[in-house]
A and B are shown apart, each in its own frame.
Chain A
Amino acid sequence: MRTYLLRRFIHVIPLIIGVSMISFFVLNLAPGDYVAQMAMNPDISPRLLAQIRAEFGLDQPVWVQYFHWLGNILTLNFGQSFAFRIPVTTLIGTRILNTLILSFFAILFSWIIAIPLGIHAAIFRYSFRDNILTFFAFFGISIPNFFLGLLLLYFVVRTGFLGLPIGGMTSWYYDELGFFQRMADVGKHLVLPVIVLGTASLAGLMRQMRGQMMDAMSQDYVRTARSKGLSDRVVIYKHALRNAINPLITIFGFSISGLLGGAALTEIVFSYPGLGTMMLEAVRRQDLHVAMAGLLMGAVLLIVGNLIADILLAVVDPRIRYD
């Protein structure tokens, strides 16, 4: 196992460099640069534009910029944001926890509901309950996140449902609250975005689980287990489920990569102070170092997520060995 991990780790290095190179050049292929956005402001002279461009090194050829950036990365210096003039790491640091909290609860919400529902639907396949669940699953898949978000917000504005707040992560009087009140305050703000983010993946997961489970239930070993006289409970959870769960673990690995960047639109609708909004803005305004840091984080998380999934597979399924 240890050599396996080491091998995986060594493979990661050229992969990350490749990803960073492609990202950097693709970002630079977009027309204009960060400074070009200011060109339409009558107050800003071409001389000032040139000065700012030189200050940020944007007047250098792209490959010079890239190697300069790469050199900094090796010393763990992610550079400065052009727009904010503060280090990228500081900028990301202000928001990373917010996004992790939101994504964590959204993933928890969707998995805790999706797995049991999927199993349930598979056991009672083609029944009325299964059809109802299928209906909601497709509803959840088809409705865009931002639209569901706006609908929920509108609903809360009209009905004052549970006194839920309209967007944000904390109330303006947050700093005056005690510890438990603060938790409650954040919790209240999380309800709607977690529902919106959660339902999006919930439906897909549930259908996956149902399909896998139905496959497993029709296998010979399930029939054997049944004929041995084992209880339904044992047959379903010990024999069928353990075989059906493997593909879901792979999906889980992928969902880790979306932890930090998968919620931009939802964050905008709920004015949630997460990374997604910031990264979207950085890409749109060509704030190069921020955008690059975001893309790198996504790549690292995807790799780590896959690794975690592979390890989990080995833990869950005794047939899989990496030695």
Chain B
Amino acid sequence: MKKSLILFFAAALVLSLAMSIAADIPRDYYVSPYPVGTMGDTFLTCQMSDPRTFNTHIAKETSSTDIIYRFLYSTTTRDPHTAELIPHVVKGWDFSDDGLVWDFYLREGATWSDGVPITAYDFEFNMDVIYDETVPTSSRDVLQVGGEYLDYEVVDEYTFRIILPEPFAPLLASAPGPLPKHVLYEPWKAGDFNETWGVNTPPSEIVGNGTFILGGYRPGERVVLLRNPNFWQVDQEGNPLPYMTRWIMHIVESQEAMMLKFEAGETHLVSVLPDAYARYKMNERRWNMTVHDLGPAFSTMFVVFNQNPNAPQFDHGDGEDYHKFEWFTNIHFRRAVAHALDKDTLIDVVYDGLATPQWSPVSAPNEFFLNPDVPKYHYDLEQAREELRKGGFDWDAQGNLVDWEGRRVEFLMTTNAGNAPREALGNILQSDLQELGMRVTFSPMDFNLMVGQLTSTFDWECIIIGLTGGLEPNTGRNVWHSSGQLHMWHPYQTEPVTEWEARVDEIFYEGAMTVDQDERQELYYEWQEIIATELPLIYTVTQHSLVAVRNTVKNIDPTIISTYHNVGSFHIER
């Protein structure tokens, strides 16, 4: 009896203490689950090149967005471990039973870095800007359903509503965040939005809602981020986050120089090249750091053959190389090439073992959508010969591969010059295809020239290239839908040419309309199965993401989804 009474009072005391601390924190603030740390340090990292702009709708490259996403947070983010979509700037959302009306609930009491409250009007303003056709933003194409713009309205100060013309599953992943109306409305009205928040804007004029705010920028040298004094996250004791006073991002144009800077103790964190991994692992204790192998990253690398009958050299059967069109559209030919692709050698030679074979168009970190059971084509030249025989190919007396009319199989393979992994893959593949009796000329070319061939002149035969994958399969629509401009093997189809392409079109239509995640998973599983069977793109390997972190940085928890997801909780141990 006595004991429980004491316990009761103790509990009451703790509770009231906790309440008194929590009293002056708005209740909608996000509470970080990471251990409590100390304030006042400087975090030092590097990035590859200069930001081009601080305007989120103008930014088209990671060197800009890597900085913008530190001071301007969006509606949702990804759980760093499960990749699930979770609330970020908003505290939550719900949607009507038909999946058409979405309400987003804002965090009451959250403000911009200058202290002005973040309200639903800031979300509305961002939508206005996105749908302004003079603003060159890619969000406008993403936020369209069947060619129609979405409806949106301010329900009250802390509730923003989006009304869809039909169900649209990717909405959450691409739901636009707020844009500070009190700062950007005037320039937008004046028609100057595209030139606003350029790199020549004084940092004090740029406000945000992220962990940090822009503090300074010295071109070619560094970007200085300062602690956002009005950030809407706190630690478990109710202390405001972030702990770091400053985050300095040095601009260093070569990865070798970045690593040297880290080794000299000038930075806290660096991404490590595969060939340096062993050396870093060996020096972990000496340099007081830990190297993390975060596993395969999002980027992809694949081989693609030209199956476009409109290409000038094919010209619907009138072109002089039309027989090559017949080879490239022959599924056995593509399967033979897939079997001749020596992934293990590539992984050992180019990545020092730090890469993983990829079989499906979904990147490995995207565990929810990744279908692990797609057809796989292991390196086996015997099986490759078998496939070629099935495809109607044969070998002449000299061992050269010839087709059904006795024409020697030869083609041009290219990639963008200067990309070491792609060039290495080209060389390895070339020698294996020659083993099969093909004559392959591999000559890398200028990136722009290759992109021109791929997207407008179509006079190419075989290209090794890659794309950056994401977590939402629908963002690949331009690649997989037969009408897409990046449907590389045969872009801009008015009607899907093959049955399987028609089915993929259907899947992408249904996938965008289906809100139930398990149904979506099933649909996109089927798509991966089709792609791995039909091999329009022959996937290769994915490099691992390697990052070295100084042991003095506490609370850091890098995952393949994000290294900086809890940057507010980072602190330096002294």
Contacts and interface: CB of A to CB of B under 8 A. Distances in A.
A269 B251 CA distance: 12
A57 to B, nearest CB: 14
A47 B263 contact: no
A127 B58 CA distance: 65
A273 B222 CA distance: 9
A165 B60 contact: no
Given A153-B257, A272-B220, A42 B264 contact: no
Contacts of A37: 447-448, 451
A52 B136 contact: yes
Interface string B207-249: 0000000001011111010000000000000000000000010
A86 B224 contact: no
A74 B140 CA distance: 38
B142 interface: yes
Contacts of B266: 165-166
A86 B42 CA distance: 31
Nearest to B60: A38
A40 B49 CA distance: 20
Contact of B486 (A40, A270, A286): A40
Contact of B254 (A41, A98, A269): A269
B319 interface: no
A271 interface: yes
Contact of A43 (B52, B142, B252, B447): B142
A212 interface: no
A48 B136 contact: yes
Contact of B250 (A90, A269, A271): A271
Contact of B455 (A39, A156, A170, A278): A39
A257 interface: no
A39 B485 contact: yes
A319 interface: no
B452 to A, nearest CB: 5
Interface in B99-145: 133, 136-138, 140-142
Contact of A271 (B44, B251, B479): B251
A42 B478 contact: yes
A194 to B, nearest CB: 17
B220 A274 contact: yes
Nearest to B194: A85
Specify which of A86, A168, A175, A272 lies most central, judged by the most chain B CB atoms within 10 Å of its CB.
A168
Given A52-B136, A83-B52, A273 B257 contact: no
Contacts of B218: 170, 273
Nearest to A80: B195
A95 B251 CA distance: 14
B449 interface: yes
A225 B448 CA distance: 65
B21 interface: no
A157 B263 contact: yes
A255 B448 CA distance: 33
Contacts of B60: 38, 41, 44
Interface string B20-58: 000000000000000000000010100001001100001
B388 to A, nearest CB: 31
A168 B219 CA distance: 11
Contacts of B446: 30-31
Interface on chain B toward A: helix, strand, loop, or mixed SS? mixed
A38 B60 CA distance: 8
Interface in B196-211: 198-200
A286 to B, nearest CB: 7
Contacts of A156: 264
B220 A273 contact: yes
B253 interface: yes
B198 A84 contact: yes
Interface string B434-466: 000000000000111101101100000000010
A51 interface: yes
B458 to A, nearest CB: 13
A46 B483 CA distance: 12
A178 to B, nearest CB: 18
Contact of B138 (A45, A153, A160): A45
Contacts of B252: 167, 271
Interface in A262-282: 268-274, 277-278, 281
Contact of B219 (A94, A160, A170): A94
B375 to A, nearest CB: 24
Interface in A73-118: 83-86, 90-91, 94-95, 98
Nearest to A156: B264
Nearest to B450: A31
B260 A153 contact: yes
A278 B220 CA distance: 8
Nearest to B484: A42
A95 B448 contact: no
Given A84-B199, A85-B53, A153-B257, A36 B219 contact: no
A266 B449 CA distance: 28
B142 to A, nearest CB: 7
B475 interface: yes
A124 interface: no
Contact of A85 (B195, B248, B250, B451): B195
B476 interface: yes
B256 interface: yes
Given A32-B449, A36-B455, A40-B455, 14 more contacts: A32-B448, A36-B448, A37-B448, A41-B60, A45-B485, A51-B136, A85-B195, A86-B199, A94-B200, A160-B264, A169-B221, A172-B224, A172-B248, A271-B221
- 6 closest A-B pairs by beta carbon, nearest first, are A273-B220, A32-B448, A31-B449, A271-B252, A94-B219, A43-B138
Interface of A: 30-32, 36-48, 51-52, 55, 83-86, 90-91, 94-95, 98, 150, 153-154, 156-157, 160, 165-170, 172, 175, 268-274, 277-278, 281, 286
20 contacts: A32-B448, A32-B452, A37-B451, A40-B465, A42-B477, A42-B478, A47-B141, A48-B138, A85-B52, A98-B220, A160-B264, A166-B266, A168-B250, A172-B44, A172-B248, A271-B250, A271-B251, A272-B220, A273-B218, A278-B220
